[in-house]
Structure 1
Amino acid sequence: MEHQINEEIRDREVRLIDADGNQVGIVPIAKAQEAASSKNLDLVKIAPQAVPPVCRVMDYGKFRFEQAKREKEAKKNQHVVEIKEIRLSPGIDVNDFNVKANHAKRFLKDGNKVKVSVRFRGREVTHSSIGLDLLHRFAENCSEIGSMEKAPKLEGRQMIMFLAPKKDNPKKDAKKGGRKGKSGKPQQAPKTEESDS
């Protein structure tokens, strides 16, 4: 915000605050400007909407520098949440699924939200339940780090779901119910049921 300073201030009288922050009272503009120049400082209009406007005697260069520093600090401290997109296809194979799940986990760890979409081509849209299962499996794969913010919803030819990072990320054991794609990490007990002869 640009302030009016010194000769730019055209009001007949102003409410003056001196360099030490003390209220001097309402004075003619000439007297306020004289008070500032006698101390080798600037007269700055800090509350133009007040009647009469409030002016303060200060080092304007130093004031601008500190204001810019405060704004820079505030920007540094605020984390902008981005929405990253992951696209899946209904016939995605296990390796691609795991790669995409790992990307999503990385985005969630960085504090970003993830939009996961399944695009249906041709008649695939009639089997939207495949997309629904895929998205639920994907959410479960990322459940340690993120949680489902918006459940899967069919919009035209694509089904969309949103994941958000968990507020506190304690490492919990993944839920055991439901089949999961291989996550790339060794599981605690390898399954031996698949011995069909």
Structure 2
Amino acid sequence: MPRAQVEEPFKINHKISARDVRLVGDNVEQGIYPIEQARRMAQEQNLDLVEISPTATPPVCRVIDYSKFKYEQKKKTRELKAKQTKVVIKEIRFGPNTDDHDFAFKLKHAQEFLKEGAKIKAYVHFVGRSIVFKERGEILLLKFAQALEDLGKVEQLPKLEGKRMFLYLAPKVIAPPKKVAPKEADKAKPADKAKAADKVAPKEKEAVTAEANPADEAAE
């Protein structure tokens, strides 16, 4: 079975149907040209005439190496995809009668998830007639959100959907610690500190001499 041809994202050369085109780029004199003249200009440079803006009037074209152009476009697309961070959502399930031990266990996991940058979808699942305790489920989820307020921010408050009440949390962006400005005394240059020491030194010498004099008098 013959392989289906992949449609090119851009019209090139003889596939361009417009009568006139606007040429742009550094390797041509920019302006509006009849399509045949624009094709000849591309052929003279052993390049392709590529329609980059078909909806313009007239369509905008460039004289470029189409293979290289496609490669660069694919490269840009890959780079954009690589920069897009995948959002990870972790689910945490509670019951309306979740005890303290189970709550603490799930809270610990939630803290780890938020530190890793994941979002959290916490919910209380009501089975059978336990739906009558929906207020209890709401209190439980609000308590859960409050316990995580240092690491996560609430994206959606508790909301009942069918037999489940959902709460959505997203990780907080922690700001870097502020730099503490050095004290004025610490800013003093070593040379200034040396001068200060020299000013103190003569006084210390005088004190030593004064202490030595009484001993000399006694010896006499």
Shared fold by TM > 0.5?
yes
What's the CA shift string for 1:153-180, capped at 9, x where partnerless?
A: 3444332222121132679xxxxxxxxx
What's the CA shift string for 1:129-157, capped at 9, x where partnerless?
A: 43233223322332221122322234443
SS at match of 2:11: coil
Whether 2:27 is the aligned partner of 1:16: answer no
What's the CA shift string for 1:44-98, capped at 9, x where partnerless?
A: 0112122222221101111111111112112222223344321111233444323
Contact 1:19 1:56 in 2 (8 A): no
1:98-113 map, 5 Å = 98-113=104-119
Bigger relative CO (Cα 8 Å, ≥ 6 apart): 1
Cα distance, 1:121–1:17 mapped onto 2, change above 3 Å: closer
State the distance in 2 between where 1:104 and 1:26 align: 62
TM-score, normalised by the number of residues in structure 1: 0.73
Whether 2:55 is the aligned partner of 1:27: answer no
1:97-176 map, 5 Å = 97-168=103-174
Question: RMSD between aligned alpha carbons?
Answer: 2.6
Cα distance, 1:82–1:21 mapped onto 2, change above 3 Å: farther
State the distance in 1 between where 2:23 and 2:50 align: 10
Q: For structure 1, list consecutive stretches of 5 or more residues without a partner in the other structure.
A: 172-197
Aligned length in residues: 170
- Following superposition, the deviation at residue 123 of structure 1 comes to 3.3
TM-score, normalised by the number of residues in structure 2: 0.66
